[in-house]
Structure 1
Amino acid sequence: MSSDEEDYMSDAFLKALEKNDTRPGLGSKKTQDKALSKPNKVANPIIGKKKLEMMHREKGLQTSLSSDNKGFALLQKMGYKPGMGIGKQEKGRVDPVSIEVKADRGGLGRDTERKRKVAEMDRWRAKRQKTEETRTSSFLHRMSDRYSERNAERDLRTAQKACLQLDQQEGLAEPNEDFFWPQSCLATRSGDEDQEEEETMNDPCSRVTASHDDEEEDEELESVTEFSDPEKLEILTKYLRNTYKFCIWCGTRYDNAQDLDASCPGNSASSHE
């Protein structure tokens, strides 16, 4: 390498390049140093006119009145002191009347009407929700009653079969009440009774007695039909517990009343759950 040519890896060659750096977008070294020496300036945020007015208004409302205010000066001349209520008894307003600035283009009374409509809609929603809750509650009650009735009907059939078996074991030919035994057994008994009644009616001497017996039976049937299935079930299970010490939900015939009271939870299906 000749002495006239500079070494492009030397420090002198690199410094010369830095001074004469003219790459696009960078500018000269002098321009770069000048830009770096200037402090960064944060641009002031642009505040809108409405926001500026609101800021000044809030500032003015938060500032107490001074004696420079003409109205306040007149009050002071009449004996008013800051913090006192206006009026003869000093029980009137202490703070000035608040202002409400209307910034939109709606007519007078529009906001009041809107609030009235919103309140009316809220009342209708509350009324509708209450109605729906009442319907749901009544539906649940109806379903619960229907479920209870089905369970009572099923338990009543079970109790009737148990009563029939226990009564026959004791040699009873008739139940204490017609609903104590299943309807099929009652139908057989009614057929036999109809035959006996026909034979009785053929006897002229016994017609008066038969008519009297019919009236008594009709009264008994009317008294039976007055009971619902849950009521029949309660009456029949009490009969089984008191007479035979038997519980249909336990499915057990106990030795005595003490054993029944100690081992059986109670005379209902809910107590056995």
Structure 2
Amino acid sequence: MSDDEADYMSDAFLKQIPDTRPSLVPKHVARRLQNERREKIANEKNKQKPKTVLEKEKRDEGLQSAISENNKGFALLQKMGYKPGMALGKFGEGRKEPVQVELKTGRGGLGREQDQKRKQEQRMVWRKHQSAKKQRMDSERKQTFVKRMNEKIATRNVGKDLYNSQKVCEQLDSQLGITSPNEAFFWPEALLPKTNDTDECPDTLESLEAGYSGYVQDEVEEEELGHEAEGSEGDEDDPYANFTVEEKLDVLTLYLRTKHKYCIWCGIKYNDNEDLMQNCPGNSAELHEDL
């Protein structure tokens, strides 16, 4: 078979054959649909554009085209020495293109669009400022929360270190035969020696006559107030009464290192001062973190 002869089994040959397959649509329905399609095509061809669309197309076409030589204004410019492409002015410092036409389609007054644009820009600047302020406040709140939590954890760790130091101090002091701590906070509160400070009154109110009960009651109240005042003066005399947990831990750590050559964070009792200075990183928990 030559190349000029068409292959009747190829796709190209089959595409040329009209589709005559039977349809499930009745003939009168198919005829009506075909007429509707033809009518739709005819309407699209004969359809006229709205007046506003035609005006816009004409205006855009006019703005995009240069001024023709038949224009009277262009002819006057040519008489004064103007040539196409030149700028206006004696020294050519003016504009080269005509003033652009800005068609006003809205019904607002003159300057309203510029005012709305200015207000919109102000709102955008205000929103950006508020967003930046909110981000800054969120960052500050986050930093404050993290700082507060770190301080809380640090305080809890200091309390644990103080309690462990108190237990170790009591054990080491007991080994040396010390029956009472140098300071009250050197030992745990539960292990402090108990003292009986209660003063018993020999005469009770019930044993007195009725006429003296009020007088004795006043004397008892005055004595109680006197004991409270003495207790408050004793607290003022105590140099460690107002110490914080951190300050108490520092004092107790210094006592353990100088008296017993012991480091609470190393957990080791050193032989002497030189051994302590050479092998112990320092007198705080921060200096032992890298170990």
- 1:183 corresponding residue in structure 2: 189
Pairwise mapping of residues 11-26 of structure 1 onto structure 2 (< 5 A)? 17=5
Aligned to 1:267: 283
Alpha carbons 2:181, 2:187 under 8 Å: kept:
yes
1:137-176 equivalences in 2 (<5 Å): 137-176=143-182
Once the two structures are TM-superposed, the CA of residue 185 in structure 1 deviates from its matched residue by: 2.4
Aligned to 2:267: 251
Amino acid at match of 1:219: E
**C-alpha displacement of 1:56:** 5.8
**Residue in 1 aligned with 2:256?**
240
Compute the displacement of 1:100 (Å): 8.9
SS, match of residue 260 in structure 1:
helix
Give 1:68 deviation, angstroms: 2.9
Q: For 1:197-236, what aligned pairs fall within 5 Å after superposition? A: 198=199, 214=231, 217-221=234-238, 223-236=239-252
Runs (4+) of structure 1 moved beyond 3 Å? Answer: 23-27, 71-76, 99-106, 210-216
Worse overlay, 152-161 or 263-272: 263-272
What stretches of structure 2 of length at least 5 have no aligned partner? 7-12, 18-55, 66-80, 107-112, 203-222
Distance 1:132 1:104, change over 3 A: farther
Q: For 1:92-111, what aligned pairs fall within 5 Å after superposition?
A: 107-111=113-117
> Deviations for 1:219-266, whole angstroms, at most 9, x for unmatched residues?
245x43411111111111011111111101111111111111111111
SS at match of 1:138: helix
Give 1:121-140 correspondences, 5 Å limit: 121-140=127-146
Identity of counterpart residues, as a percentage?
32
1:147: how far off?
A: 0.2
Aligned in 2, Cα 1:239/1:101: closer, same or farther, shift over 3 Å? farther
Would the aligned equivalents of 2:265 and 2:288 in 1 still touch at CA under 8 Å?
yes
1:170-204: CA deviation from partner (whole Å, max 9, x where unpaired): 22222111111111123x43xx2415xx37x98xx
- Change in CA separation of 1:72 and 1:160 when aligned onto 2, cut-off 3 Å: same
Compute the TM-score of the two structures, normalised by the length of structure 1. 0.58
Runs of 5+ unmatched residues, structure 1: 1-8, 28-47, 58-66, 83-93
Q: Secondary structure at the match of 1:108?
A: helix
CA distance in 1, matches of 2:127, 2:120: 11
Counterpart in the other structure of 1:31: none
If the length of structure 2 is used for normalisation, what is the TM-score?
Answer: 0.55
> Who is 2:208 aligned against?
none
Partner in structure 2 of residue 118 of structure 1:
124
> CA 1:72–1:268 in 2, change beyond 3 Å: closer, same or farther?
same
| 3-state SS, counterpart of residue 224 of structure 1 | coil
Residue of 62, 68, 72 corresponding to 2:82: 68
